Structure formats: structure tokens, C-alpha cells
Structure 1
């Protein structure tokens, strides 16, 4: 699944902003001076492990938490002290929070019935019908919630959120309870819905694949702060730190010694003495460093095969081999370097059937593969 760019959105348009937003719970610092502009109409994800601050950021935006310091703005207005029900945002919760004693249409129309001044019954009915049609549940209005599947319940929760026409739709791990196949289907439906409505979606998730598949931008959180923010491809190709490289995709993190830098590349020497060329080295310092290289950037060759020009060969032994259909995942032990993972596409295997357990191989490192990481 590829995330299409939101072409109708101008980058300078800001719908919401965190300015030095900090949240403390006693001695616990849950969010630490968050500065972030959220663009109108974009799909933004907060990604990180439990306790990293992503949910706290979402709850400050929703109005369920008040910043201890700093401000939260929506359309340029400070809403830090504005209660949730008075903000132009709606949230879809992880467990949907639907009312089991109500029908589908009663659930969807619940927020409309709380409005003041009151809407007429006809206005509510028209808005509910439109919202249900948007999520393809036109014929399900009279059903009870317990008669709906997990995926259908999620759509009901989405309809209830969009019926109020919010400026921002907040999604708190809404697909965590779904199985893998249904999760993929709902990801596509959410993207279609976001493109159709043109409103800002803000997702909180710990699932990196979900964030990579759906987001215009991803905000990587760690220890209550923003570790790095960028497009999925930027974060995958250019992680700033080991923390980001470890969390976005899979990466081999290797110790190396930088001996030269020039023209956006660096010459590095691995622990076994192998010299490799890595790309996008930050700064101009030499000495000890960490290098991240993605498993798919490397390849394998029989130990007796000479490497081609512009590549380095690292001797290794296959310790684990996992066939995954379209590719094979190899875990290897490279003396002096450490453990390596190499993902080899099925059509790129140089040995029929792949390399077996215990096989001696060369890990082929092309020029430019890998990235020197900043400390952190």
C-alpha cells in the first residue's frame, strides 16, 4: 500500500500547533517541550513504544489533558484550557467506546443530539445517513452494536466521529484489536476516507508498518520528546539516531571507525578490518561511530565467489534461515563485526534453494549502503 500525497494541502497551512507543550504527572515527565505544527489535511502519525509520550500528545490535542506548561493551538487559537467537547476535534478510541444498548444510527447521532442549540430530528437523520453512507454502512442503521463485526464497529466509530465535521480526527490505535488481514483492509479504508473528507487525521500507533503505510509524516516519539519527524521514506532512509533506526524498520547497527569524509560519503572500517563506503555522513568528525544498514541493502554470495568492483565482502556464517515467500531472512555471524541480518529476494538468490544453515558466505556491501548515525 502506497500513501498518495495530499495534493490539495499547501505545506504552510497549519491547523494545529504544539508550542513547548509539556505534561507532568507528579514526578513523571510524560511530554517534554513538544514543538510541532500539524498541516491542514495531512495524515500525521505519532509513533513510538509504550510510555514515549505519543498518547499524552494526542490527549492534549483532544482536550482530555491540559498542558502543565506551553500551549496547544487550533487554527491559531490557544485551546490549552478549552474542554474537549468545545474543540473542533473528534476521537476514535482503541476500543471504539460505542453504546451497546443503542442502534448503529443512535450511536452515530449521539453527539449531534447533545448540540446546543438543538438540531431538528430531520437534520440529525440527514447527517447520520450521510455519515453512514461515507463509511459504507447505509443499510446497517437499525442494527444493534453487538450484531456488528469488529471491522463494522470500527466504521460505526468513524461515522460517529466524522458526523460532527471536525477539523481534526484523532485516532488512538483504532486497529489494535483487529486481525492482520482486517487491519490491512481498514488501513486502506481509512486512507480513502481521509482523501474523501480532506480533513486532518492524527494517528497514535506503536505499529511501524501501520505508520509507514498510512502517513504523510511520522513523528517519532521517545522519552516524551520528538526524536525525529519526516515522511516515511525520509525516516526509513535517513534515521538521525540509533533509536529511530531501530524503531523504523529493521536495521543492522554496527560499530565502525570513520577514517575519511568527502562529498557526502564516509570511509569506514568495520571491526574485522573491512573497509566500507557509507552515505550521508553527518558532520566532519572522524573516529568511532555507529553505522545503520538495512537488511535489504546487503546481499549474499558463496564464500568462494569474488566480490565485484565497488563492493566490500564480509565473511560470515549462516546461523538462521527463514523462508518468507517473497524473500528469505538470513541471520549471520560475522567474526569481528557481530550479528547481521540480510533479506534476500527470492529471485536474487545466487544459490538454488538458498544458503543452508552453517554455510560460509560473503555478505556483499555495495558502495553507499549504510548511514553514519548521530549519537542519541
Structure 2
């Protein structure tokens, strides 16, 4: 039987996958670490596997690298089944969280290590030229003779990247490579890594549990949960149109409320929240359920001291407020609903005069705000 992924590839001959998971599962004894993964990784894209610990993202990466064989299904790279291909013969390289640099070698020797293992052997002049070129690419051109233990954390990461890309792999696999860096350096390295990927055109596959890292760097993100793929899409798609409660709750900040649908029309539904307030909300996949969950992002709501025409209003009390520079984060207790979060931009807060802990306010909900979530399996 042809899988849905194979069928899609057949229908779209213009779509080029550099790697594919087709019905892939992985078991470790009684533990099902990956469950029926179907995914095509597009040539030249930056794809991230994102999810909490134990969700299966690292297992997926290790199956691409050849460190773990799938228990079921097929992993393909460049349209070739990798089942019988050992890791060292695959057109991939991997950057590990701890970098795994050789302390007894210089930077240049570390970077050229993979080239020296190729058979037939490359001339020393070619190895030196390629090492010099890749060190210049990662802005370490003057560091070839340094020892790795003389470098900062960010410089060591660049050496690991240089060693990984010098062989010009089809896939560069990144296993949380920035987890050991401090916040400022991590942000700098994220930008450098993205610039490097764009300049090289190599397909990058990143594993991370840091959603901000995935959102800021990825062309597409694969959300994992319980060994399954929950949703694949661009950062904007995952944020604006999550398919279910799990994705909505994991990507960004989210208020998730329950309500009862009283009418449906033209892709929108009127529903009554627990407090009795009626709101108009778009549906991601209309069905006939009466009880539904709706997600609304903290920045999509606003606050007022009084109700305003054209907006549904929920009465609430401010329990916490945190100034974060460009916006203020308000935590509120809404009558009949429970805790909610609202982020007010600096300009909007200045116009209103701001609110303090204990203030009674109205949460304003404009028609068309939020999204009804599809039922979870």
C-alpha cells in the first residue's frame, strides 16, 4: 500500500525531498519512541524538530544520522533507502550538544579530520585549502593553529560547525548545539547559524526544546509529542493555526478556554464561554461538536475599565502585572473562566494609563479573535 507521503510526492513532481520518513517507528524494548512518522524534508530548508523531553525528536534525528535503525518503515536520503547504509557512509554530518572536539588537535586539524578519512585520500594541499575556506566562512580564519581549549564556547561551536560542513553534506543535523551557551551568546549564534545556512544552501535539521529558537530560525517546524508528529508547518502557521490543544499550548503563550457552540456559519462559530459571554470565533476544521476548546493569544485581547461597543467583554481582576519593556504582561482572574494572560503593548498601556494588581477590568474580545481547535485523537 502506498503511504500518504509517497502519494503526495507522486502527485507533486516539483517537490524535491532531500530526506523522508515513510511509516517510521522506533521501539526500545516496550517503549515506542517514534510512532509512524511520515515527513518529507525539503532540499535547502531549515527544519526544526520541536517538543518536550521524551517526545521522540532526538530519536528521529538519530535515525537520519544512522545511529539508530528504524523498527518499522523506511528512512530515505536523496531518494535512497538508508536501511543498509551505515552512519559513516551517509551524506550527513552532525553537530552535537557537547561539540566533541579533539583537545589534542589544533582548530585546523579538527576541521580537516573528516577530509583526512576520505578514500581515496585527498592531497594535503586540497585539504588545507578547504579547511582555510570553511574557517573563513565561520569567521575563524586566524584561529587554525589554536588549540580548542583556548577558545570561547561560541568559538568552539563554530569549529564544530566548520568540521561538519567541510565535507559538504546533503544534511547537517544539529542536536541542541546551543544548549550550553548563555542567553546572549545563544542569540548571536542563532543569527550566525541562520546566515550560514542561507549562504551554504545545505539542508539543516535542528532538534530543540526551545520554542523561541525554533520559531526564530526555522522555515518549517515539526512539533513532536508522545513519539508522534503533532503538526508540521511554518512558524506563523503553527502560531496562528494550531491544529489541536497540544500544539496551541506548546507554541507560544496561549489562553485555552472551553465553550459551547450555539451556531455555525461561513467558517465561524458563535459560542458561549463558561461565564455566559458570547463570542464569534473562526474554526480551523468545522465539525458538529457542541463542546469545543478555543485558543486566543495574549496579544489578541485588550483591557478596558468599561465595556466597549462591538466587543464581547469578560469581567476580570488583575492578579499580577509584569513590565517587560515593549509590553506589560497581565495575569487576570476572569469570572466563570479562571486565569487568563493578556499582553498590552507599551503604547496601548500608555493610552489607558495602565492597571494595577487588584483592579477590576473588562477583557475585550473582538469578533473573529481566537480559533476553535480540532478534536485531538
Distance 1:199 1:340 in 2: 42
CA-CA distance at 1:283 after TM superposition: 1.9
Instruction: Map 1:13-92; keep pairs closer than 5 Å.
Output: 13-92=16-95
Q: Deviations over 1:149-189 (max 9, x none)?
A: 01100000000000000001001001111111111111111
Asked if structure 2 preserves the Cα contact closer than 8 Å seen for 1:88 and 1:168, the reply is: yes
Distance 1:219 1:53 in 2: 11
Distance 1:153 1:11 in 2: 39
Distance 1:80 1:186 in 2: 34
In the alignment, what sits opposite 2:173? Answer: 170
Instruction: Map 1:289-328; keep pairs closer than 5 Å.
Output: 289-302=292-305, 305-309=306-310, 311-328=311-328
Which of the numbers 210, 214, 219 marks the counterpart of 2:213? 210
Distance 1:286 1:77 in 2: 44
Q: Deviations over 1:299-334 (max 9, x none)?
A: 1111xx23132x111000000111111100000001
TM-score where L is the length of structure 2: 0.95
CA-CA distance at 1:11 after TM superposition: 6.5
Asked if structure 2 preserves the Cα contact closer than 8 Å seen for 1:261 and 1:281, the reply is: no
Distance 2:313 2:332 in 1: 14
Q: Runs of 4+ in structure 1 displaced over 4 angstroms?
A: 350-353
Q: Deviations over 1:56-99 (max 9, x none)?
A: 00000011110011110011110123111100000010111111
Distance 1:108 1:37 in 2: 30
Asked if structure 1 preserves the Cα contact closer than 8 Å seen for 2:171 and 2:204, the reply is: yes
Asked if structure 1 preserves the Cα contact closer than 8 Å seen for 2:317 and 2:333, the reply is: yes
CA-CA distance at 1:339 after TM superposition: 0.7
Asked if structure 1 preserves the Cα contact closer than 8 Å seen for 2:267 and 2:286, the reply is: no
CA-CA distance at 1:114 after TM superposition: 1.0
CA-CA distance at 1:126 after TM superposition: 0.7
Where do 5+ consecutive residues of structure 1 fail to align?
A: 1-9
CA-CA distance at 1:353 after TM superposition: 4.8
TM-score where L is the length of structure 1: 0.95
In the alignment, what sits opposite 1:263? Answer: 266
CA-CA distance at 1:281 after TM superposition: 4.2
Asked if structure 1 preserves the Cα contact closer than 8 Å seen for 2:304 and 2:352, the reply is: no
Q: 1:124 to 1:194 in 2, by over 3 A?
A: same
Higher mean C-alpha displacement, 178-187 vs 37-46: 178-187
In the alignment, what sits opposite 1:109? Answer: 112
Q: Deviations over 1:280-302 (max 9, x none)?
A: 34223141111110000001111
Distance 2:117 2:74 in 1: 28
In the alignment, what sits opposite 1:3? Answer: none
In the alignment, what sits opposite 1:179? Answer: 182
Which of the numbers 141, 145, 149 marks the counterpart of 1:146? 149
In the alignment, what sits opposite 2:338? Answer: 338
Asked if structure 2 preserves the Cα contact closer than 8 Å seen for 1:109 and 1:163, the reply is: yes
Structure 2 residue 288 is the aligned partner of structure 1 residue 273: no
How many residue pairs get aligned? The number is 364
CA-CA distance at 1:55 after TM superposition: 0.3
CA-CA distance at 1:13 after TM superposition: 1.1
Distance 1:338 1:276 in 2: 17
Distance 1:94 1:266 in 2: 46
Distance 2:289 2:266 in 1: 15
Q: 1:347 to 1:11 in 2, by over 3 A?
A: farther
Structure 2 residue 275 is the aligned partner of structure 1 residue 247: no
Distance 1:113 1:353 in 2: 66
Q: 1:281 to 1:301 in 2, by over 3 A?
A: same
